[in-house]
């Protein structure tokens, strides 16, 4: 009846699982995953973050087993965030030699040397006011914050960090860090820049995990307006000029158009940060039985790959690595 109608039969390529697998365009791999974790001062601590079920702040003595597990699962890299005991106006804990992050990096490089350790380089977890730099006249002072950021990066690399990931959104942070690293002899350490970081409500649960909620105001004078697209290109462009080796887009899920823009406009590897709020929403819905967690997570991370991400920072990394091995 319909055989002489002229239309294209797209369903031919979907007839079986094998057929679908040979025409699949994008793939999620274990190598794409970067596992974020929180190291806290103290001993014997494993504090589950209430808004992020399955994610815990770990003390140093609990870090090694966690990192061995990550490595065993085939995840090649982790990104470390610190939760210090003491905070001050200028975030001293971020750049002291025995800071919590520096201690964690040393320990991991000693115990699980194959694991690539990415150091998040910022001050907000270490400042008493919770902002990402030094405060002058009620706002973050750009240039003064750069100096401390560069100092933080150098101390993290001295501790053994393989990649520096500056996240505070000060102008010039890539060149300031690149110059400081080069002067210290660390010319081969790459910079994974949080080039495009929006001022986002999706960061809520992270602030509980990293204890980094600003004590006054917000971060809108340095993080980007979610309404802007061209501004993302400008941000990434200057970071590339300043020497960034990777470009991060954060958050990921509501910003897949930006991930694609960055992929299309630059030749550097693109990293999507699947942030805490994106994780918490899935977990909450899954706990209520409203969604199929595994299918949804795989679909959403694959959509980040499809959008152009080469790498994905995700709290789901361990689950995904397990699912990929099934």
Asked if 170 touches Zn ion (CB under 5 A), the answer is no
Residue 124 makes contact with Zn ion by CB under 5 A? yes
- CB under 5 A: which stretch of 7-15, 150-158, 162-170, 201-209 binds Zn ion? 162-170
197 is catalytic: yes
| 229 is an annotated ligand-binding site residue | no
Q: Is 119 in the site for Zn ion (CB under 5 A)?
A: no
- Whichever of 139 and 183 has its CB closer to Zn ion, that residue is 139
User: What string of H, E and C letters represents the secondary structure of 185-230?
Assistant: CCCCCCEEEEEEEECCHHHHHHHHHCCCCCCCCCCCCCCECCCCCH
Q: Is 174 in the site for Zn ion (CB under 5 A)?
A: no
Q: Is there a binding annotation on residue 167? A: no
Pick the piece of the chain touching Zn ion (CB under 5 A) from 41-49, 94-102, 163-171, 188-196: 163-171
CB of 262 to Zn ion, least distance (A): 21
- Binding status of residue 132 toward Zn ion by CB under 5 A: yes
Say if residue 207 carries a ligand binding annotation. Answer: yes
What's the closest the beta carbon of residue 122 comes to Zn ion, in angstroms? 3
128 is in an annotated binding site: no
Cβ closer to Zn ion: 42 or 214?
214
Residue placing its CB nearer to Zn ion in the complex, 122 or 282: 122
Measured between alpha carbons, how far is 274 from 55 in angstroms, rounded to an integer?
Answer: 14
User: Minimal distance in Å, beta carbon 88 to Zn ion?
Assistant: 15
Of 87, 151, 197, 263, which is the active-site residue? 197
Task: List the catalytic residue out of 250, 263, 283, 300.
Answer: 250
Is 52 near Zn ion (CB under 5 A)?
no
Q: Does 122 bind Zn ion (CB under 5 A)?
A: yes
- Is 294 known to be catalytic? no
Q: Least distance (Å) from Zn ion to the CB of residue 124? A: 3
Output phi, psi for 131, to 5 deg.
Answer: -90, 165
Active-site residue list:
197, 250
Residues annotated within a binding site? 122, 124, 132, 207, 219, 235, 276, 315
Residues annotated within a binding site for Mg(2+)? 235
Q: Which residues bind Zn ion (CB under 5 A)?
A: 122, 124, 132, 168
């Amino acid at each position: 009846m319909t055989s002489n109608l002229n239309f294209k039969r797209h369903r031919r390529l979907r007839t079986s699982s094998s057929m679908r697998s040979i025409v699949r365009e994008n793939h999620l791999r274990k190598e794409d995953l970067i596992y974020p974790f929180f190291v806290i001062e103290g001993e014997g601590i494993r504090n589950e973050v209430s808004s992020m079920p399955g994610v815990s702040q770990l003390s140093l003595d609990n870090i090694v087993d966690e990192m061995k597990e990550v490595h065993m699962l085939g995840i090649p890299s982790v990104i470390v965030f610190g939760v210090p005991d003491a905070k001050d106006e200028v975030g001293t804990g971020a750049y002291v030699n025995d800071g919590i992050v520096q201690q964690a990096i040393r320990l991991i490089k000693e115990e699980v040397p194959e694991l690539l350790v990415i150091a998040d380089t910022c001050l907000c977890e270490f400042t008493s006011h919770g902002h990402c730099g030094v405060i002058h006249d009620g706002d973050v002072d750009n240039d003064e914050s750069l100096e401390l950021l560069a100092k933080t990066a150098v101390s993290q690399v001295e501790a053994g960090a393989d990649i520096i990931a500056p996240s505070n959104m000060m102008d010039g942070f890539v060149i300031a860090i690149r110059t400081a690293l080069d002067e210290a002899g660390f010319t081969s350490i790459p910079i994974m820049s949080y080039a495009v970081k929006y001022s986002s409500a999706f960061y809520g649960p992270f602030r509980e995990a990293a204890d980094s909620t600003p004590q006054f105001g917000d971060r809108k004078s340095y993080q980007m307006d979610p309404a802007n697209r061209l501004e993302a290109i400008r941000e990434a462009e200057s970071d590339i000029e300043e020497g960034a080796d990777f470009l991060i887009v954060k958050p990921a899920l509501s910003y897949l158009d930006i991930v694609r823009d960055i992929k299309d406009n630059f030749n550097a590897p693109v990293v999507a940060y699947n942030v805490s709020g994106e994780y918490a929403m899935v977990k909450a819905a899954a706990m209520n039985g409203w969604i199929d967690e595994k299918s949804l997570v795989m679909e959403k991370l694959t959509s980040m790959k499809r959008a152009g991400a080469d790498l994905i920072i995700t709290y789901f990394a361990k689950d995904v690595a397990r699912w990929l091995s099934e």
